[in-house]
Structure 1
Amino acid sequence: MTSENEAPPAPRRGLAEKRQAITRAARTVFGRDGYSRASIDAIAAEAGVSTRTIYNHFAGKELLFRTVVQESAGQVRDAHLEVVERHLAKVTDLEADLVALSLAWVAALTTFADHFALVRQINAEAAHLPKDLLDAWQDAGPRRAVTELGTRFGELADQGLLDAPDPARAAQHFVLLIGSEVTQRSYWGSYPLAPAETEEIVTAGVQAFLRAYAARPTR
């Protein structure tokens, strides 16, 4: 037996490190080749392990893909939740705070480039992937982040800063207004935009959002 203060035994650490190496490699290969074309052999080569090692951790390619998609989406979700907390916990200048939030939000396209390479492949193959897998991806990442944004917009509405009877829908509109053009022009982050271009796009998106949702002064 080991005491509470002793480090976990090396084999357990080794298994965790091996699993991480496999999922990192799988994210790279799936992001490069897509689900259909990716092979366990290619993932094993990328990870520097045997195919048997992969099957010791994952029952097959579909489970590995599901795991990678959900874990990767969760990392981006956590980054977006932190952005929402940082910029909307205390609002001092609504437009400026929303622009700052937007710039940090769309920066994920380059910060998590390997994830959005995976997203490009998911979108390309969506018709050939199980719907429950697509829903699991959305639930693990984008939906959770936008739900939290909607909660914050509801708080801003309660404070009289927004006129948003449906904060969840307002959050959906916001993300589309600040992110769609950046996503399209950069081809999901394949060709990152210049910072000035990104700022111009998201600022225009925030201003359009506020024209629709900013609270109007009462007479």
Structure 2
Amino acid sequence: MAIHDPLYTLIPGTTLTNTDEEQARPRRGMTHKRQAVMRAARAVFGRVGYLGASIDMIATEAGVSTRTIYNHFESKEHLFVTVLTESSHQVAAAYEAIIQRHLGEITDLEADLIAFGRQWLRPLPEFADHFAIVRRINAEAERFPRELHEAWQEAGPLRVQHALAAQLARLSDRGLLRIEDAECAAQHFAVLITARVTSRTQLGAAPIEDAEIEKIATESVHAFLYGYLSRETPPTRET
């Protein structure tokens, strides 16, 4: 996350460009075979990582020939960047929708933040392959160039952080929170919410009970509000 990864790295010589982003988005006329290749690549990259994957493995998973893959993607590097870019945008959009749904209109600040935190922590099964890739990236981070990790962060986790920061700033403007640096506050909220779950679930690989999610969300929001809740008068220090 990302914010969820306290909420990605480029293969040497490649970059995440606007062209890559456009190619990553679903387009009219995209063939079924290309979609099959993308699904297979997500599964394989999530299962064995970028370094362990091969075009032959992805072709077998997709049920297509290697020639079919090369008809759509120049190389394994290009396929990986495309898969990562597309899934990052999709996951970021899903979290942005959660932010808007729970924080777009506040009726009870604490209750709404807890509901938001609870939803934030629930797994998104439709993106299981994406988060498997993220776990692989974290595990292989030292073997990936810095550029791809930064590009992934911008496409996914930082995009979500910016969206959360914007909502927190709006709440601060309304006097509901006391925030000087909204980006810092968003990062604090994300770490409070996700750190314990990330540790207990091994970056989302293991399940977690709903009751535990509720407990963590509630305690994390209480800690966040202790630092950022608006006060009419500042607390005095005992002497």
TM-score, scaled relative to structure 2: 0.83
What are the superposed Cα offsets for residues 93-148 of structure 1, whole Å, 9 maximum, x if unpaired?
A: 11111111112112245452211111000001111112221112111111001101
Over the matched positions of the two proteins, sequence identity in percent amounts to 54
Pairwise CA distance, 1:27: 0.5
Query: Of residues 160, 166, 176 in structure 1, which corresponds to 2:175?
Result: 160
Pairwise CA distance, 1:175: 0.4
The letter of the residue matching 1:27 is R
Pairwise CA distance, 1:211: 0.5
Query: Of residues 37, 45, 48 in structure 2, which corresponds to 1:33?
Result: 48
CA separation of 1:153 and 1:15: change in aligned 2, threshold 3 A: closer
Is the 8 Å Cα contact of residues 110 and 189 (structure 1) preserved in structure 2? Answer: no
The letter of the residue matching 1:107 is R
CA separation of 1:96 and 1:41: change in aligned 2, threshold 3 A: same
Q: 2:224: which partner in 1? A: 209
Separation in 2, partners of 1:32, 1:185? 20
The secondary structure found in structure 2 opposite 1:203 is helix
Pairwise CA distance, 1:90: 0.8
Query: Of residues 126, 141, 162 in structure 1, which corresponds to 2:156?
Result: 141
What are the superposed Cα offsets for residues 135-164 of structure 1, whole Å, 9 maximum, x if unpaired?
A: 121111110011010011111000001111
Query: Of residues 210, 220, 231 in structure 2, which corresponds to 1:195?
Result: 210
Pairwise CA distance, 1:167: 0.7
The letter of the residue matching 1:99 is I
Query: Of residues 43, 52, 70 in structure 2, which corresponds to 1:55?
Result: 70
Q: 2:110: which partner in 1? A: 95
The letter of the residue matching 1:214 is L
- Which consecutive residues of structure 2, in runs of 5 or more, have no partner in the other structure? 1-26, 235-239
User: Is 1:120 the counterpart of 2:135 in the alignment?
Assistant: yes
Separation in 2, partners of 1:216, 1:67? 47
**RMSD of the TM alignment (CA)?**
1.6
- Larger % of helix: which? 1
Separation in 2, partners of 1:141, 1:71? 10
Number of aligned residue pairs? 208
CA separation of 1:184 and 1:129: change in aligned 2, threshold 3 A: same
Separation in 2, partners of 1:214, 1:43? 50
Is the 8 Å Cα contact of residues 122 and 213 (structure 2) preserved in structure 1? Answer: no
Separation in 2, partners of 1:75, 1:209? 28
Q: 2:145: which partner in 1? A: 130
Separation in 1, partners of 2:135, 2:39? 17
